């Protein structure tokens, strides 16, 4: 089991919307191996974000099981989930969610401070900012950065606690084509260098071509899961 970074078994999730119960996930079986780049594709509304939230332990399934790096986390309580999440998972969302009052450097540092206030890893935050090409922008506030730069700060923030798994939900959804391509290049390079598992929801062809695993979702289930263009060594 431990070669799987992420595994789900028969995951169900529904939302109560007024009087109506909407079934969003209808038995999802997902397997992503350690170090893989896995791309999830599928039409809007089929449950991709819902699945990512459950895998990232931001939300809980109604039933089914979830393993993270071989550990069954299905029964963890809320603090247990939060602890596991902070230790293991980095998120990049469609909208950057940077805090407007803080500099790029501070935004990258915040998850490290939350984890251990006295030992926030400023040196690594600077290293990451340099790695995403923004060392000279470290004092800029989010409003002083372009959309692409904000997302690159968000990537650095996602990596500050050295997560083994990075989840990205349409991270270039708000970017122009060029900035989007640059962000995908960066994510792929970081996967090669740091070896984290990357599970990413995207419609981007370039990303799909460079993934190890292609997952297609349709109406609450995984309708296809295949090894992709780039074989995992």
Query: Alpha-carbon distance 35 to 21, whole Å?
Result: 37
The least distance separating ligand ADP from the CB of residue 17, rounded to whole angstroms, comes to 5
CB 169 within 8 A of CB 93: yes
Total residues at interface with Mg ion (CB under 5 A): 2
- The option from ligand ADP, Mg ion, none interacting with 44 (CB < 5 to 8 A, set by class) reads ligand ADP
Site for ligand ADP (CB under 6 A): which residue of 50, 161, 179, 197?
Answer: 50
Q: Is 22 in the site for ligand ADP (CB under 6 A)?
A: yes
CB 27 within 8 A of CB 11: yes
Total residues at interface with ligand ADP (CB under 6 A): 11
Site for ligand ADP (CB under 6 A): which residue of 30, 37, 46, 168?
Answer: 46
Site for ligand ADP (CB under 6 A): which residue of 3, 10, 29, 45?
Answer: 45
Stretch 37-66: interaction string toward Mg ion, x if CB under 5 A:
-----------xx-----------------
Q: Is 60 in the site for ligand ADP (CB under 6 A)?
A: no
Q: Is 24 in the site for ligand ADP (CB under 6 A)?
A: yes
Query: Closest by alpha carbon to 56, among 175, 48, 155?
Result: 48
Query: Could you tell me which stretch among 46-54, 117-125, 129-137, 206-214 binds ligand ADP (CB under 6 A)?
Result: 46-54
Return the H-helix or E-strand segment holding 113. helix 104-115
- The option from Mg ion, ligand ADP, none interacting with 24 (CB < 5 to 8 A, set by class) reads ligand ADP
Q: Count Cα atoms within 13 angstroms, Cβ side, for 116.
A: 7
CA-CA-CA-CA dihedral for 204, 205, 209, 211, to nearest 10? 20
DSSP class of residue 136 equals G
CB 24 within 8 A of CB 13: yes
CA dihedral sign of residues 36, 95, 12, 63: positive
Residues contributing to the site for ligand ADP (CB under 6 A):
15, 17, 22, 24, 44-50
């Amino acid at each position: 089991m431990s070669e799987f970074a992420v595994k789900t078994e028969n995951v169900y999730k529904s939302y109560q919307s007024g009087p109506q119960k909407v079934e969003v996930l209808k038995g999802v079986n997902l397997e992503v191996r350690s170090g893989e780049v896995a791309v999830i594709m599928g039409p809007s509304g089929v449950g991709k974000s819902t699945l990512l939230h459950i895998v990232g332990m931001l939300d809980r399934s109604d039933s089914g099981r979830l393993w993270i790096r071989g550990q069954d986390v299905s029964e963890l309580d809320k603090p247990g989930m939060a602890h596991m999440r902070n230790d293991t998972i980095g998120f990049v969302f469609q909208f950057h969610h940077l805090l407007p009052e803080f500099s790029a450097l501070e935004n990258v540092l915040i998850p490290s401070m939350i984890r251990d206030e006295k030992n926030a890893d400023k040196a690594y935050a600077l290293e990451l900012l340099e790695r995403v090409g923004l060392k000279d922008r470290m004092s800029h506030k989010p409003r002083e950065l372009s959309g692409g730069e904000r997302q690159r700060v968000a990537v650095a923030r996602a990596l500050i606690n050295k997560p083994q798994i990075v989840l990205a939900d349409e991270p270039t959804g708000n970017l122009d084509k060029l900035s989007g391509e640059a962000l995908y290049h960066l994510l792929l390079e970081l996967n090669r260098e740091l070896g984290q598992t990357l599970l990413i929801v995207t419609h981007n062809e370039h990303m799909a071509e460079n993934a190890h695993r292609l997952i297609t979702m349709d109406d609450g289930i995984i309708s296809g899961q295949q090894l992709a263009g780039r074989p995992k060594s």
